[in-house]
């Protein structure tokens, strides 16, 4: 059992950053998680639940990062690591039923908007773009009135948005979305879990472009999803496995290394102590992606 598992309830976020995902504190165990480069694993003749089996299903190198991110986000289940932020976006959007309505910020990350727009053009989703800072407008898009109007299937939040820094009232919008029967996905890339934990505010899924703050050194391209809902996680895991959006083990190993436990703009304490999260906070003063536009 690792240090973080023994004392998880007592650890600050700053300690979790350096403690979670470490190997067990046992004699002759390495201090750092190892890098595993293998496409296949020895089996027993049948592939049972939990067996690694094949490199597209699982890799031990993913586990430390997925554990650490889940702890930071307050999730009850391990996270899921992806080959890029947009691979994670694609997996999250797969939760929308065919033809379902998607409410998304007008100023979402450009790659996310392009992907959603292309899905809409092909008739896979109905895209409703709104100013995410206008709570009333978002609520109206979630449950529009009039003959034939359908409630939304998914609310996509970014707070702050990339790059316009629009701030959403995550708790209020999540409550409205659930009342309409929608799943809520929150892109928490710019806030990071040190500033905002969307699951605690009611979101169903949290997304990260790990390329940005979580990796922080401009040396990897990765994405991640986190949820506490077993059915949602199962669907996301199946999508990752079948569609192949898996992370390279070397990138996962780099991302899981020791990181600076600093939040953008030094806003950790103020926002952490505000139960509304970032919704009522001014935009952090230094929120910028790491150099380069890769996601």
- The reported pLDDT for the residue numbered 49 is 66
- Ranges of residues in the chain with a pLDDT under 50 are 1-4, 260-262, 265-277, 279-295
Could you tell me which CATH class the domain 74-280 is placed in? alpha beta
Please indicate whether residue 63 is annotated as part of the active site: no
Q: What are phi and psi of 156, to 5 degrees?
A: -105, 120
Domain boundaries, the chain: 74-280
- The reported pLDDT for the residue numbered 76 is 95
Contact residues for 253 (Cβ-Cβ < 8 A; gap 6+): 33, 35, 61
Of 56, 262, 272, 276, the active-site residue reads 56
CB atoms within 10 A of CB 101: 23
- Whether the CB-CB separation of 84 and 77 falls below 8 Å is answered with no
Q: Which helix (H) or strand (E) holds 82?
A: strand 80-82
Please indicate whether residue 286 is annotated as part of the active site: no
Structure tokens at 61: 């190198």
- The reported pLDDT for the residue numbered 22 is 81
Please indicate whether residue 57 is annotated as part of the active site: no
Of 22, 109, 139, 295, the active-site residue reads 109
Q: pTM (2 decimals)?
A: 0.84
């Amino acid at each position: 059992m690792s240090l973080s598992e023994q004392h998880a309830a007592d650890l600050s976020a700053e300690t979790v950053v350096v403690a979670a995902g470490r190997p067990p504190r046992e004699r002759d165990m390495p201090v750092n998680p190892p890098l595993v480069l293998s496409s296949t694993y020895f089996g027993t003749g049948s592939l049972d639940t939990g067996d690694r089996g094949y490199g597209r299903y699982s890799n031990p190198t993913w586990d430390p990062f997925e554990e650490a991110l889940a702890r930071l986000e307050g999730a009850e289940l391990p996270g899921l690591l992806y080959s890029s932020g947009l691979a994670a976006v694609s997996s999250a959007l797969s939760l929308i039923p065919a033809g379902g309505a998607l409410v998304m910020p007008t100023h979402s990350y450009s790659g996310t908007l392009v992907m959603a727009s292309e899905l809409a053009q092909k008739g896979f989703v109905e895209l409703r773009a709104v100013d995410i800072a206008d709570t009333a407008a978002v609520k109206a898009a979630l449950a529009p009135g009039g003959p034939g109007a359908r409630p939304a299937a998914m609310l996509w939040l970014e707070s702050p948005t990339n790059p316009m820094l629009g701030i959403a009232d995550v708790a209020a919008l999540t409550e409205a979305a659930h009342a309409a029967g929608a799943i809520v996905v929150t892109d928490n890339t710019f806030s990071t879990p040190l500033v905002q934990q969307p699951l605690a505010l009611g979101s169903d899924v949290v997304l990260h472009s790990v390329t940005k703050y979580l990796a922080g050194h401009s040396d990897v391209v990765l994405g991640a999803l986190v949820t506490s809902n077993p059915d949602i996680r199962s669907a996301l895991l199946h999508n990752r496995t079948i569609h192949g959006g898996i992370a390279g083990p070397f990138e996962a190993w780099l991302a899981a290394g020791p990181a600076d436990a600093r939040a953008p703009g030094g806003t950790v304490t103020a926002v952490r102590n505000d139960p509304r999260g970032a919704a009522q906070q001014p935009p952090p003063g230094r929120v910028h992606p790491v150099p380069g536009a890769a996601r």
